[in-house]
Amino acid sequence: MSTTPRPQPRPQTEAAAAGATRALVVLTAMNLLNYVDRYVPSAVKDLFKADLGLTDAETSYPLTAFVVVYMLASPVFGALADKVPRRVVIAAGVALWSLATGLAAFAEGFWTFLLARALVGVGEAAYATISPALLADFYPESKRNRALTAFYVAIPLGAALGFILGGWLGKAFGWRTAFMAVGFPGLLAAGAVLLVPEPERGAFDSEQERNATPPGWAEALRTLRATPEYVVAVAGYVLVTFASGALADWMPAYLSRLRGLDLAEAGSLVGTATVVGGLGGTLLGGWAGDALRKRGVRSPYLTLSGATMLGAAVVAAIALLATSTAAITAAMIGAQLLLWCYNGPINAVLVSSVPAQMRARAFSLSILLIHLLGDAISPPIVGVIADTTGSLALGMTLVPVTLFAGALVWLVGARRLAASDAAEG
C-alpha cells in the first residue's frame, strides 16, 4: 500500500458506533439478497432453456444483459451518490431489483426474460456502487477490511442459497416459482435501509478531503488512472471476475451433463461448496490480510489475494477434471475457499486508495470494468464454445487459465508497489 500519510481517525461516539453496526447489518443482509437473486438463474438454467426453447448461448445472454446494464448504470449512480442521500438511492435499487427478479417468472420467451434480468442490473447498480463507500464513512481505515469482510461474507452465502434454493424449488415447483420465491420478498427489505443513518462523507478523512468538491468524471478518471494501487487491484479483479462468472453460471450444467448429476444434486453441490468455501475463504482472507498488515508486509492485501488465486487456479482445474462426486465436492470447496479470500482485502484496497469524494465513482468504475471485461462476457463465451465445438469441458478451461492470470497481476503489482514504497521511504 502507499506510504502517503493518512489522517488519524476521529473518535466515534456511542451513537455513531451503533449506527455503524446497524448499517453493516442492514447492508450485509441486502448483499445476501443480491446474490440469491443473481444465481437462481444458473441453478435452473436447463429448466428455462427447455421451457423457453433456448440454445446454450441464449441461456447466458440474460446474465450478460444483467451485467451490461449493471455496469453501465453504475457510473450514473456513482455520480448521483454525490448529490442525494445515499440510503434513498439504495432503497430504490433494492425495490427495483426485487420486482424485476419476481417478474422474470412471467416471461414467455427469450426477449421478455432478457428484459426482466436486465432490469435487475439497474437496481443492483444503485446498491453495489454506493454501499462500500457508505460503509467507509462509518469505519476508520484500520477497521475497514474487517467491516468489508463481514459485508462480503454475504456473497458466498447468497450465491449458495441461490444455487440451493433455485435447484430445489426448480425441481419441486418449476423455475417460475423459484424466481418469485426469491424476488418479491426483497421488497420488504427495501425499507430497512431508510432506518440507517446517513454518515458524514469522509468522516475519517482529513478536513480538506471532507470539504473537497466531488470532481467531474474527466478529472476522476485521470486521478484513478494515476493511482497504482487502484489500477493493479482492478486489473486483477477483472480476470478473477471473468473466471468466477463462468464458473458460477456453468458449473451446475457442467456437473449435470458431464458427470451425471441431476439438477438438484448439481445445484446443491455447487451451493454447498460456495457457502462452505466462500464463507471460510472470505473470513480467512480478511484475517490473513490484516495479519500480514500488522507484520509490516508491504502491499499485504494484494499479496494475499495473488497468492490465494494461484492456489485457486490449481484446485479449480482439479475440480473440472475429477470424476467422482466426492472428489469434485472436495476440490470445489477447496477452490471456493481460495477463490473468495480476495473479497475483503481487494475492496479495502479500492476504498482506501482514493479520496473520500471519489469513492462512489471509484467503485462504479471498478464495477464497470470488472463486468465489461469479466463476467459479462465469460458465460456466453463458454456457451459459444460449447455450441460450436460440442464440448462444454473445453469452454470451462478458461476458468483456471484466467484465475492464474489474475494471480500474476496481483502478485507482480504488489511486488512493484512494495519496491516503489521502499524507494520512497
Q: pLDDT per residue over 240-284, tens digit each?
A: 999 999 998 899 889 988 998 887 788 788 878 888 888 899 889
> How far, in Å, CA of 394 to CA of 391, rounded?
5
* Cell numbers for 419: 519496491
198: helix, strand or coil: coil
Burial of residue 167 (CB within 10 Å: 0-12, 13-18, 19+) is: buried
Q: Would you give the end-to-end CA distance of the chain in angstroms?
A: 12
Exposed, middle or buried, 379 (CB in 10 Å: 0-12/13-18/19+)? buried
149, 280 contact by CB (below 8 A): no
pLDDT recorded at residue 15: 47
Angle at CA of residue 134, ends 354 and 39, nearest 5°: 100
Task: Let me know: does 73 contact 126? Beta carbons within 8 Å.
Answer: yes
DSSP conformational letter for 10 = P
Helix (H) or strand (E) run with residue 136 in it: helix 110-136
Which residue type occupies 164? I
Cα separation of 146 and 318, whole Å? 31
Q: State the pLDDT at residue 17.
A: 63
What local confidence, expressed as pLDDT, does residue 18 receive? 67
Contact 208, 105 (CB under 8 A): no
Which of 257, 280, 49, 56 has its CA nearest to residue 160? Answer: 280
Residue 217: count of CB within 10 angstroms of its CB: 13
Quick one: pLDDT at residue 212?
A: 60
Query: What pLDDT score does 1 carry?
Result: 42
Closest CA to 259 of 367, 392, 118: 392
How much is the pLDDT for 4?
43
**CATH for 15-424?**
1.20.1250.20
Q: What is the pLDDT of residues 60-82, one digit of tens each?
A: 788 778 877 887 887 788 777 76
| Per-residue confidence (pLDDT) for residue 213, from 0 to 100 | 66
CA-only gyration radius of the chain, Å: 21
The model's pLDDT over 7-40, given as tens digits with 9 standing for 90+, comes to 444 444 444 566 788 889 888 888 888 888 877 8
> Would you kindly state where each structural domain of the chain is located, as residue ranges?
15-424
> What residues in the chain have per-residue pLDDT under 50?
1-15
